[in-house]
Amino acid sequence: MTLTQGPQIPTVQHQGGAIIARCAWQVLALVVICHAAPLAQTQAVAQDEKSGVVEGTIVYVANPQKPWRLGRYYIRNAKTGELAEAVVALSRRGLKNPDTARKPVSITVDQKDFQFVPETVAIRAGDQIKFLNSDNHPHNVKTSHPDHAFNFTMPVGSSHVETFKTGSGILQPYVIDCVFHSAMRAWVFVFDHPWFQVTGKDGRFRLQNVPAGEYRLDTVHSAGQLRARQSIVVVAGQTTTVVVKLDPSNR
């Protein structure tokens, strides 16, 4: 068999020859795939190297001189201090990233057992929040935010949808109250870019596909009136890991 005119399928008259011919083509196909794979991997790496990852843990450091009586609702392990419902976000000049092709997201915030659930949410500009009232008492959703104020009474079993069109960032959240029950409060953080997150019970966060460069990393826990700020550098193709410690002196 000659390859000068391209591979030719040999004519065989017995079963053994047919098996050999099929094996030859399988080997040839495998060689082609093996040579093509490194090219695909190289392209994937090149795309990843345009951005990096920022991940870490938010930890509460107790201060006996300034006890936080509500801390038990947000700290699962008092010894290690991983903090839930902390908001983490990146910022720098020119970070705004409007995505006109992105479909707005709708999330639900319930009023149940005389509290907002969840109490802290973070969304992008243009997203919606559907407020529910699952209690057997009337409630209310109200905010006096300078960008967008509203005040709606919610009878038992009712719902109300609100669109948050303007991103006000981590330093100016929408504070949601209930005029009938002053102890009820929620915080809605609205961003004009995708690099933010609310920590879970493990206190962890992970921000992916962050363009390489210098950033300010802000952390806020509204219920504890805690905040912290630090500078970080995101390196293309690498993960930047941080541990943010919050204590009463950060208030």
- pLDDT at residue 176 greater than cutoff 70: yes
The span from the CA of 121 to the CA of 191, in Å, is 11
Mean pLDDT value across residues 205-216: 96
Mean pLDDT value across residues 66-91: 94
- pLDDT at residue 31 greater than cutoff 50: no
- pLDDT at residue 7 greater than cutoff 90: no
Rounded to the nearest angstrom, the gap between the alpha carbon of residue 233 and the centroid of all alpha carbons in its chain is 19
How do strand 115-117 and strand 106-112 relate by DSSP bridges?
Answer: antiparallel
Question: What confidence tier does 95 reach under pLDDT thresholds 50, 70, 90?
Answer: confident
The span from the CA of 202 to the CA of 205, in Å, is 9
Mean pLDDT value across residues 183-197: 96
* Lowest-pLDDT range of 31-35, 62-66, 70-74: 31-35
Residue 30's pLDDT is 37
Residue 251's pLDDT is 65
pLDDT in tens, 151-170: 999 999 999 999 999 999 99
Mean pLDDT value across residues 138-148: 96
Whether residue 110 contacts residue 132, with contact meaning beta carbons closer than 8 Å, is answered with yes
Q: What percent of the chain has pLDDT over 90?
A: 71
Whether residue 178 contacts residue 140, with contact meaning beta carbons closer than 8 Å, is answered with yes
**Mean pLDDT, the chain, as a whole number?**
84
Whether residue 47 contacts residue 237, with contact meaning beta carbons closer than 8 Å, is answered with no
Mean pLDDT value across residues 61-85: 93
